[in-house]
C-alpha cells in the first residue's frame, strides 16, 4: 500500500476494512477517531480530526456527502476538530473523491406563498439579534461587503458597499428610495443620512424590524426612514419610488416567484427610475443546487426554501418585466472575503455565542459561514449586482453615458 496510513488499535483495522479503495490514493491531513478511542490517519501530519461518536456512521464513509457530514455534526453524531476553514477544505476533498457531483439534480420549483416565506425568514433572521451582533460589523450588515483594496476592516468595507450601491443608484437628495429586505436598517439609515433621500424599507423579520426601528430613532431619522413588516407582494405598485434597492433578498423568493418579484419592482418604481438587485446567484444556468450535498445542507438547516437563480435567469425576469439591465458586476471574491471575516469573528467568540443560541444553531452557523466562504472562493456560487432602469416611453433615460461618476 503506497499510502501512509497510521492505525491505532484493532478497531482501526476493522474500520479500514470498510473504507473504499479510493481513499488509498488520497493524501489528506485527516484523522478518523472512533468512539472507542481507536484512530486512523488518512495521511501524514493530520490537521483535521473527525471524531465518530455514532458507530453506524462508519459505513457512510463509503459515500460521505457534505450534507451527510454536516448533518451528523449538527446532530452531534460526529465532532470536527481543527481550524474550521481547514475542516471545510479537507471534508470537500474527501467527498470529492467519493461522491458524484449530482449533475442531474435538477431544482424543484415550488411557488412560495406568504406564510411559507414569513416562516423561512423568521427561522433564520429571528434567531437572536445579540448573536448576529457578535460577528457582523457595527451596522449589522448581513450581505456582501465591498473591498476596494482587500486591506479594509469589515466595518469600512460595509460602509464602502453602501456608497457603491448609492452611487450606482445615483441617489439625489429628496428622492424616495424603496429598500426591499432592509434587515437591521443599515442601508436605509445610511442612504437617508449620507445621500439625503427618504426611505421606505420592508422586512419579514420581526427581530430585525424592532432593532432597525430603534436605530432609526437613535439617529433621529424618523421623518426620513419608515420601516415596515411587509411582504414584497404587498408593496404599492403605483410607481411612487424614484429608486429601488434589494440586497440579499431575491435568494428567498424562489424560482417560481421570480417573475412576480420582478414585476413588483417594475410597478413600484417610476419612469426613469433605477432598480438595483444585489444577491447570490447560482453557477448552473438551470439554478440547481451546489453538488455533493452542500445545497441540501443549506436548504435543510440554513435557508429553508431558498433558491439561487443563475444570472441569466434573474436578468431574464427583470427584462421581461419591462426593466432594462444596464450594468452587472460580480462581487464573488468580495463575498468570500466577507464570509471569512464573519467566520473568523464567530470562531473567536464561540463561548459567548454558545450562551446566546442553541448548540445545534451554533454548529450550523459555524459550518455555514466557513463553508460559504469556501464556496464563493471556489466559484461554486456567485454574487451579482444588477442595475436596471425603467426607461421612459420613448426609450430614453437619464443615466450618464459611462460609469465614471460611480468611481469619481
Query: Residue 106 falls within a domain, yes or no?
Result: no
* 301 and 329, same domain (yes or no): yes
pLDDT mean across residues, the chain: 93
Place of cell 460611480: 406
Distance, CA of 240 to CA of 260 (rounded, Å): 18
Query: Residue 105 falls within a domain, yes or no?
Result: no
Distance, CA of 392 to CA of 404 (rounded, Å): 23
Structural domain for 271, as ranges: 114-407
Beta strands in 249-380 (DSSP E): 269-282, 324-330
Query: Residue 286 falls within a domain, yes or no?
Result: yes
**Residue-wise pLDDT tens digits, 30-74:** 999 999 888 888 888 999 999 999 998 988 888 899 999 999 999
pLDDT at 202 (0 to 100): 98
Bridge-based pairing state of the strands 269-282 and 241-247: parallel
**Residue 174 backbone class (left: φ over 0; alpha: ψ -120 to 50; beta: rest):** left
Q: Is 379 exposed, middle or buried (0-12, 13-18, 19+ CB in 10 A)?
A: exposed
User: Is the CB of residue 331 less than 8 Å from the CB of residue 144?
Assistant: yes
Query: Residue 109 falls within a domain, yes or no?
Result: no
* 254 and 399, same domain (yes or no): yes
pTM of the predicted protein model:
0.94
182 part of the active site: no
* 243 and 319, same domain (yes or no): yes
Query: Residue 180 falls within a domain, yes or no?
Result: yes
* 262 and 175, same domain (yes or no): yes
Distance, CA of 359 to CA of 366 (rounded, Å): 11
- CATH number of the CATH domain containing 329: 3.40.50.150
* 125 and 86, same domain (yes or no): no
State which H helix or E strand residue 7 sits in: strand 6-8
* 217 and 333, same domain (yes or no): yes
pLDDT at 97 (0 to 100): 85
Q: Which residues have C-beta within 8 Å of that of residue 246, sequence separation ≥ 6?
A: 179, 180, 181, 265, 275, 276, 277, 278, 279
Query: Residue 1 falls within a domain, yes or no?
Result: no
Query: Residue 23 falls within a domain, yes or no?
Result: yes
Can you tell me the mean pLDDT for 306-313? 96
Under DSSP, the state recorded for 289 is: P
Count of domains forming the chain = 2
**Grid cell listed for 184:** 437591521
Query: Residue 103 falls within a domain, yes or no?
Result: no
Can you tell me the mean pLDDT for 291-317? 94
**Residue 23 pLDDT grade (very low, low, confident, very high; cuts 50, 70, 90):** low
**Residue-wise pLDDT tens digits, 80-110:** 999 999 999 999 999 998 887 765 566 677 8
Bridge-based pairing state of the strands 198-203 and 225-229: parallel
Q: Which residues have C-beta within 8 Å of that of residue 179, sequence separation ≥ 6?
A: 187, 188, 191, 199, 200, 201, 202, 245, 246, 247
* 38 and 136, same domain (yes or no): no
* 298 and 331, same domain (yes or no): yes
* 252 and 190, same domain (yes or no): yes
* 313 and 239, same domain (yes or no): yes
Catalytic residue among 91, 182, 264, 372: 372
* 12 and 151, same domain (yes or no): no
* 33 and 151, same domain (yes or no): no
- CATH number of the CATH domain containing 67: 3.30.1050
Amino acid at each position: 500500500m503506497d499510502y501512509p496510513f497510521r492505525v491505532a488499535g484493532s478497531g482501526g483495522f476493522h474500520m479500514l476494512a470498510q473504507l473504499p479503495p479510493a481513499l488509498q490514493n488520497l493524501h489528506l491531513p485527516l484523522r478518523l477517531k472512533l468512539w472507542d478511542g481507536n484512530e486512523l490517519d488518512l495521511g501524514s501530519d493530520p490537521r483535521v480530526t473527525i471524531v465518530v461518536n455514532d458507530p453506524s456512521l462508519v459505513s457512510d464513509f463509503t459515500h460521505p456527502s457534505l450534507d451527510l457530514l454536516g448533518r451528523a455534526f449538527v446532530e452531534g453524531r460526529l465532532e470536527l476538530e481543527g481550524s474550521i476553514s481547514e475542516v471545510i477544505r479537507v471534508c470537500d476533498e474527501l467527498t470529492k473523491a467519493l461522491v458524484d457531483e449530482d449533475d442531474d439534480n435538477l431544482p424543484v420549483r415550488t411557488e412560495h406563498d406568504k406564510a411559507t416565506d414569513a416562516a423561512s425568514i423568521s427561522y433564520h433572521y429571528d434567531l437572536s439579534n445579540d448573536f448576529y451582533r457578535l460577528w457582523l460589523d457595527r451596522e449589522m450588515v448581513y450581505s456582501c461587503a465591498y473591498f476596494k483594496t482587500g486591506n479594509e476592516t469589515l466595518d469600512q468595507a460595509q460602509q464602502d458597499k453602501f456608497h457603491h450601491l448609492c452611487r450606482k443608484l445615483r441617489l439625489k437628495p429628496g428622492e424616495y428610495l424603496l429598500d426591499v429586505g432592509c434587515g437591521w436598517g443599515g442601508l436605509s439609515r445610511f442612504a437617508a443620512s449620507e445621500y439625503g433621500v427618504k426611505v421606505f424599507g420592508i422586512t419579514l423579520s420581526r427581530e430585525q424590524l424592532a432593532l432597525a426601528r430603534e436605530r432609526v430613532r437613535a439617529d433621529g431619522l424618523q421623518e426620513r426612514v419608515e420601516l415596515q413588516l411587509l411582504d414584497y407582494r404587498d408593496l404599492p405598485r403605483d410607481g411612487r419610488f424614484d429608486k429601488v434597492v434589494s440586497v440579499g433578498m431575491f435568494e428567498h423568493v424562489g424560482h417560481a416567484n421570480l417573475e412576480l418579484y420582478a414585476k413588483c419592482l417594475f410597478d413600484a418604481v417610476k419612469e426613469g427610475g433605477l432598480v438595483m438587485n444585489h444577491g447570490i446567484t447560482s453557477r448552473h444556468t438551470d439554478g440547481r443546487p451546489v453538488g455533493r450535498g452542500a445545497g441540501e445542507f443549506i436548504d435543510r438547516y440554513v435557508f429553508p426554501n431558498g433558491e439561487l437563480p443563475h444570472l441569466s435567469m434573474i436578468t431574464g425576469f427583470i427584462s421581461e418585466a419591462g426593466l432594462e439591465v444596464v450594468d452587472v458586476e460580480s462581487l464573488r471574491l468580495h463575498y468570500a472575503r466577507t464570509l471569512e471575516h464573519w467566520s473568523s469573528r464567530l470562531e473567536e467568540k464561540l463561548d459567548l455565542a454558545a450562551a446566546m443560541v442553541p448548540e445545534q444553531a451554533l454548529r450550523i452557523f459555524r459550518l455555514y459561514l466557513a463553508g460559504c466562504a469556501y464556496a464563493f472562493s471556489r466559484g461554486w456560487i456567485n454574487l451579482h449586482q444588477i442595475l436596471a432602469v425603467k426607461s421612459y416611453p420613448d426609450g430614453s433615460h437619464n443615466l450618464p453615458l459611462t460609469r465614471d461618476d460611480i468611481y469619481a
